[in-house]
């Protein structure tokens, strides 16, 4: 127990310095990770496959996985001059469905229901359809989102921890708008 | 503490040769639209800054020198070269995919030598950057370059906000004399965190409000050298390299102001004439 605590403390202390493949062997939390989303993540997600970019390329070559991006949206910084152009554009894996902050935990029941409803639509109700969750490196959001889907009985959940940065190192990104259903529900919620 | 994004950029940079050897460009679905998409993005920004004015492409009036792959996305060095400097009235610098793309606008006064400008910027993700030269007859010319860097706008500074703000407004200037009758090169360093508003305070986990240098005016006596309109995309502790044509012995005066009513003024004596 003590060793666990020490590891967790070390992970917290090092959180800001973590590359995607964390040198800290962080254990999986029992449920969701409810702390800050940025920080070291575990190397595993029970019930899901963890993919590196080679794994994702291989998966995309043989299947059409549902790509779920839960990265937070950029919000206009407080204190920025009103006449400055603010034109955020979210670059991600082409054809990804972007539901910002859907990996939050806890997630309010309305958003959780909407997230699951959207995934059910995107998979056509097929619980064996491959799904990939991702955001940025060292982001718990995609881990939580993957876990949420494992809990719902999806059998081919994949977690891609290096996320958008891991993808853009090898491939082109595309500007993707927030999922329409998700943005309707989320309008007005502060992000990032 | 190192910003994790910078660490990532570094590890990606180190892994590049291997990755480049292993795979050629793989075209994902939708990737063929990429150029069109980047162009559309640029057109949107261009219209928001320049309206309907025509912007011609140029290979000669302005050139951008930037690392193709930056080691630190929060500190990407940019050099803008304007060889036909007598024609140049101003230069604009845009980082297309930054949420706040209009990084800098520099207008040159009568005491300027607008041949070269260097500055350091934040880059949010792999993006085109554009430099737009404005000639004295009011025409606009653009040049572009693709830069690979990621996470620069949100990278924490690795210290507390209070530490980052210590000595805010302090300035230094270094001169490199070009010789009698020639332009003098100057490096202006301003101590200022230039908080982007997208950086998370590592202790409170709140976003530090944007606090950035909005305007820098550099003069010698009554003659303006340059005026910089800045933005959150300028790196912390801004550094600006420029050149000017000294006249008489008056000192160089710098006035800097930020978006939270900070205002600082410093004078720098000219270097003694070289022998």
Compare A34 and B200 and report the one with higher pLDDT. A34
- For residues B178 and B186, the answer to whether their CB atoms sit within 8 Å is no
Contact yes or no for B11 and A19 at CB 8 A? yes
A7-16, A86-95, A169-178, B42-51: segment of lowest average pLDDT:
A7-16
pLDDT digits (tens, 9 = 90+) for B195-219: 998 888 777 777 888 999 999 999 9
> Of A4-13, A30-39, A111-120, A177-186, which one has max mean pLDDT?
A111-120
Positions in chain B short of pLDDT 70: 1-33, 180, 273-275
Contact yes or no for A89 and B259 at CB 8 A? no
Compare A190 and B49 and report the one with higher pLDDT. B49
Contact yes or no for A80 and B26 at CB 8 A? no
The whole-angstrom separation of Cα B61 and Cα A173 is 31
Tell me, what's the ipTM? 0.74
Domains belonging to chain A, first-starting first, are: 45-73+90-192 (3.40.250.10)
- pLDDT attached to residue B215: 97
Which residues in chain A touch residue B212, judged by CB atoms under 8 angstroms apart? 80
Contact yes or no for B31 and A80 at CB 8 A? no
A59-63, A150-154, B67-71: segment of lowest average pLDDT:
B67-71
Domains belonging to chain B, first-starting first, are: 10-268 (2.60.40.2470)
- pLDDT attached to residue B273: 64
Which residues in chain B touch residue A175, judged by CB atoms under 8 angstroms apart? 37, 41
- pLDDT attached to residue B159: 83
Residue in A with minimal Cα distance to B201:
A16
B102 in reach of chain A (CB within 8 A): yes
Model confidence, pTM: 0.82
* A166 Cα to chain B: minimum distance (Å): 8
Q: Work out the pLDDT band at A187, boundaries 50, 70, 90.
A: low
3-state secondary structure of B11: helix
* B26 Cα to chain A: minimum distance (Å): 6
Which residues in chain A touch residue B200, judged by CB atoms under 8 angstroms apart? 38
The whole-angstrom separation of Cα B148 and Cα B66 is 10
- pLDDT attached to residue B274: 53
The whole-angstrom separation of Cα B134 and Cα B131 is 10
Residue in B with minimal Cα distance to A13:
B1
Contact yes or no for A168 and B126 at CB 8 A? yes
Contact yes or no for A60 and B28 at CB 8 A? yes
Which residues in chain A touch residue B214, judged by CB atoms under 8 angstroms apart? 81
Looking at the DSSP bridge assignments, the partners of residue B215 are B229, B257
How many C-beta neighbours within 10 Å does residue B150 have? 28
- pLDDT attached to residue A23: 60
* A137 Cα to chain B: minimum distance (Å): 8
Choose among B229, B236, B149, B166: nearest CA to B199. B236
3-state secondary structure of B31: helix
pLDDT digits (tens, 9 = 90+) for B182-196: 899 999 999 999 999
The whole-angstrom separation of Cα A128 and Cα A156 is 6
């Amino acid at each position: 127990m003590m060793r666990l605590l020490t590891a967790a403390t070390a992970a917290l202390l090092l959180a800001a310095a973590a590359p995607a493949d964390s040198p800290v062997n962080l254990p999986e939390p029992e449920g969701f990770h409810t702390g800050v989303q940025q920080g070291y993540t575990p190397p595993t997600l029970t019930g899901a496959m963890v993919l590196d970019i080679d794994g994702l390329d291989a998966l995309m070559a043989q299947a059409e996985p549902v790509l779920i991006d839960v990265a937070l949206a950029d919000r206009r910084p407080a204190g920025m001059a009103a006449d400055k152009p603010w034109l955020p554009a979210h670059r991600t894996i082409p054809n990804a469905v972007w539901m910002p902050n859907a990996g939050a935990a806890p997630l309010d029941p309305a958003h959780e229901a909407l997230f699951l409803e959207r995934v059910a639509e995107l998979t056509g109700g097929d619980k064996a359809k491959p799904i990939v969750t991702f955001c940025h490196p060292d982001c718990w959001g995609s881990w939580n989102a993957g876990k949420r889907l494992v809990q719902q009985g999806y059998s081919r959940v994949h977690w891609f921890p290096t996320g958008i940065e891991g993808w853009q190192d090898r491939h082109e990104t595309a500007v993707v708008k927030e999922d329409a259903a998700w943005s309707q529900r989320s309008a007005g919620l502060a992000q990032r | 503490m190192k910003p994790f994004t910078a660490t990532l950029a570094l590890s990606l940079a180190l892994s590049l040769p291997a990755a480049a050897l292993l795979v050629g460009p793989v075209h994902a679905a939708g990737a063929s639209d990429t150029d069109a998409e980047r162009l559309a993005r640029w057109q949107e920004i261009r219209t928001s800054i320049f309206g309907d004015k025509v912007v011609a492409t140029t290979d000669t009036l302005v050139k951008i020198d930037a690392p193709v792959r930056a080691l630190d996305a929060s500190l990407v060095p940019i050099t803008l070269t304007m060889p036909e400097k007598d024609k140049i009235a101003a230069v604009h610098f845009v980082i297309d995919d930054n949420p706040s793309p209009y990084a800098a606008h520099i207008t040159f006064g009568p005491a300027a030598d607008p041949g070269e400008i260097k500055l350091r910027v934040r880059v949010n993700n792999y993006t085109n950057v554009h430099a737009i030269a404005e000639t004295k007859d009011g025409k606009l010319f653009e040049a572009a370059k693709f830069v690979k860097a990621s996470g620069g706008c949100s990278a924490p500074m690795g210290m507390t906000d209070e530490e980052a703000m210590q000595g805010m407004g302090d300035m230094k200037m270094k001169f490199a004399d070009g010789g009698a009758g020639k332009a003098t090169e100057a490096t202006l360093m301003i101590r200022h965190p230039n908080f982007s508003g997208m950086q998370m305070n590592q202790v409170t986990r709140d976003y530090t409000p944007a606090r950035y240098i909005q305007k820098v005016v550099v003069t010698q006596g009554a003659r303006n050298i340059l005026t910089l309109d800045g933005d959150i995309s300028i790196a912390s502790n801004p550094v600006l390299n420029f050149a000017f044509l000294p006249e008489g012995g008056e000192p160089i005066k710098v006035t800097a102001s930020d978006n939270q009513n900070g205002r600082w003024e410093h004078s720098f004596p000219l270097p003694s004439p070289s022998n």
